[in-house]
Amino acid sequence: MATDGCRRTGLKWPLYYVLFMIILSTCTVEAKTRYYKWDVKYEFKSPDCYKKLVITINGMFPGPTITAEEGDTVVVEVTNNLVTENTAIHWHGIRQIGTPWADGTEGVTQCPIIPGDTFVYKFVVDRAGTYLYHAHYGMQREEGLNGMIIVSVPKGQSEPFTYDFDRSIMLTDWYHKSALDHTVGLNSNPFVWVGEPQSLLIQGRGNFSCSAVSIASEPDVCNATRPECSPFALTVVPGKTYRLRIASLTSLSALNFEIEGHNMTVVEADGHFVEPFVVKNLFIYSGETYSVLVKANQDPSRNYWATTNVVSRKPGTPTGQAIFNYYPNRPEQNPPTTPTTGPMWNDSEPRRAQSLAIKAREGFIQTPPATSDKVIILLNTQNKVNGYTKWAINNVSFTLPTTPYLVALKENRLRNKLHHVFDQTPPPTGYDWLNYDINVNQTNVNATSSNGIYRNKFNTTIDIVLQNANMINPNNSETHPWHLHGHDFWVLGYGNGKFDPFNDPKKYNLVNPIMKNTVPLHPYGWTAIRFRADNPGVWLFHCHIDAHFAMGMGIVFEEGIERVGQLPNNIMGCGLTKRLITP
């Protein structure tokens, strides 16, 4: 069992060691191991008053919050009781240093967990902050199976801001059709788009209007009186300051979040301290986490709306509503005002302004390398592959292999058997930027598909420039939140229009760039990031919109595979890994 306290140095140690310990005044705190046992299964629930099958963890939706302290080991024993579906769970924002097989990415770092099996994830949470977990098998994240990971600073250390209470808020969008239905539609010809979500959930609760459903044949399918779809209420004490850890795990939607009549001071993003700035509207994209400070300093005789709305897409989804409840008012007491509807959905300038405002906090700046060893420019476009609608990166649409990359690469070095399980031709590192017009739909939309990967020399510095463009339809460029597994990266800059590889790098922020694991790519613009390829393993980099990744919007990096330790048997069992399982 883990204990806290000083390790004592007795006379049995050599004198030089005793003196060394005295000089350093070393007092160590042993890390703890946090154990979780999860039963993952489908249950009927009505998070927005409409009853459907939801993936739960121990009966909970959203799932239980994992709490730990920096340096702790987390062990999660996952039993898949989904009966007919595989699953895998990704620990979003946890870098998995030394444990790349625990990243939870089906097809990249592990075989999926088959129905009836139990899989044990074990990893270290090496940095304090606000993180996430979610399904990473197909489009299963749409069905639930998500939650938050809260990692506190080590004992004896403090954060550079103060607050009275710490609360978490998960934002998600919600569909009534199943993820399987959506997957079939996306992979059909003619193409069937998933459409806009039916609801926006705040902490797992939404407000779908049952009047929109014909319930003559199914009178119990939608019921607005169900307690589980009453608005989430966050109770606050007048005069107190609250740290709200706000996270988004939407499947499609970019969101705005606001609390009626209250300012929010942004202090953390993806586990890194931010030079504080004040917002009334927080823009948040799938896979991002923020901490904001909110003071309960308004008229305490009433409650206030906390709302979320879709931005960057023409909304077809009603406002998500929660109640900012001033004690001792009743939590179910609606505010006397109309819920706020947020900024204009197609006004991208405030979203760009927030992105540019996020800088590393003074005293916590991690200076990036001054230059990079490799530059990869990734053009994001919508394309056709053999008549099917896909997303492509530099005209290549990504597909997953049946044998996970981590196993194929590691075992290939050991046994030289698995070199053929994915395309050995690396994807392109750029596109014809001089001649490509990002503002128009292209006359030739055909692309190819591949599961080739980028091989990075270990410990080198990599620049990635994400370039947005027009889709197949005219006058349409979407927001894409890109998430990198296994790393944090420096956000060097954003720009409108087409990236100029000769002049735009001169504008990079190398002084106080924020580090993140998820970053937005704005319409008709570019985003530049830099990371160190210093974490041995195989890591996915992809758009965090479920449908976009399912349609090919992603790439894979390999680095230092020879430094990866012996792979555990429990990540095998699919594709050609079956032959590698040893007793």
pLDDT at 46 over 90: yes
Provide DSSP, 433-479: TTT--TTS--S--B-EEE---EEEPTT-EEEEEEE----SSTT----
What pLDDT, on the 0 to 100 scale, is given for residue 18?
39
> Tell me, what's the pLDDT at 24?
39
Helices and strands: H and E segment counts in the chain = 5, 32
Architecture of the domain spanning 167-357: Sandwich (2.60)
Is 50 exceeded by the pLDDT of residue 21?
Answer: no
CB of 166 closer than 8 Å to CB of 179: no
**Least confident segment among 54-58, 492-496, 579-583:** 579-583
Is residue 218 over pLDDT 70? no
Q: What is the mean pLDDT of residues 117-134?
A: 97
Q: Residues near 20 by Cβ (< 8 Å), separated by ≥ 6?
A: none
Share of the chain above pLDDT 70, in %: 92
pTM for this predicted structure: 0.92
What is the rounded CA–CA span in Å between residue 466 and residue 378?
A: 5
Where residue 421 falls among pLDDT bands split at 50, 70, 90?
confident
Mean pLDDT of 165-181: 97
**Portions of the chain given CATH number 2.60.40.420:** 2-158, 167-357, 374-580
pLDDT tops 80 at residue 573 = yes
Largest alpha-carbon pair distance within the chain? 85
Hey, is 370 helix, strand or coil? coil
Whether the pLDDT of residue 53 is over 60: the answer is yes
| Residue 4 pLDDT class (50, 70, 90 cuts) | very low
In this prediction, residues 524-530 reach a mean pLDDT of: 98
Picking from 164-178, 272-286, 340-354, which range would have the lowest pLDDT averaged per residue?
A: 340-354
Residue 404 near residue 457 (C-beta atoms within 8 A): no
Question: Where on the phi/psi map is residue 374: left (φ > 0), alpha (ψ -120 to 50), or beta?
Answer: beta
482 forms beta bridges with 519, 543
Q: Which CATH number is correct for 2-158, 1.20.1250.20, 3.40.50.150, 1.10.10.10, 2.60.40.420?
A: 2.60.40.420
CATH 2.60.40.420 fits 374-580, yes or no: yes
Q: At residue 216, does pLDDT exceed 70?
A: no
Report the distance separating Cα 287 and Cα 560, nearest Å. Answer: 26
pLDDT digits (tens, 9 = 90+) for 158-172: 999 999 999 999 999
Q: What is the pLDDT of residues 241-257, one digit of tens each?
A: 999 999 999 999 999 99
By the 8 A CB rule, do 78 and 113 touch? yes
Question: Higher confidence at residue 123 or residue 227?
Answer: 123
State how far the Cα of 43 lies from the Cα of 52, in Å rounded to an integer: 8
Per the CB < 8 A criterion, the answer to whether 9 and 18 are in contact is: yes
2-16, 522-536, 564-578 — which one is most confidently predicted on average? 522-536
Closest CA to 161 of 259, 94, 242: 242
What integer best gives the mean pLDDT of the chain? 91
Residues in the chain: 583
Sole residue written with tokens 């420019």:
377
Predicted confidence band of residue 563 (pLDDT cuts 50, 70, 90): very high
**Kind plus residue range of the DSSP H or E element containing 350:** helix 349-357
Q: Is the pLDDT of residue 490 over 50?
A: yes
- DSSP states along 263-302: -EEEEEETTEEEEEEEESSEEE-TT-EEEEEEE--S-TTS
pLDDT band, residue 14 (cuts 50/70/90): very low
User: Residue 428: is its pLDDT beyond 90?
Assistant: yes
DSSP letter, residue 488 = -
Checking if the pLDDT of 480 tops 70, the result is yes
Q: Comparing C-alpha atoms, which of 384, 361, 541 is closest to residue 462?
A: 541
Tell me whether strands 461-467 and 525-532 are parallel, antiparallel or unpaired: antiparallel
**CA angle, 298 then 247 then 480, to 5°:** 120
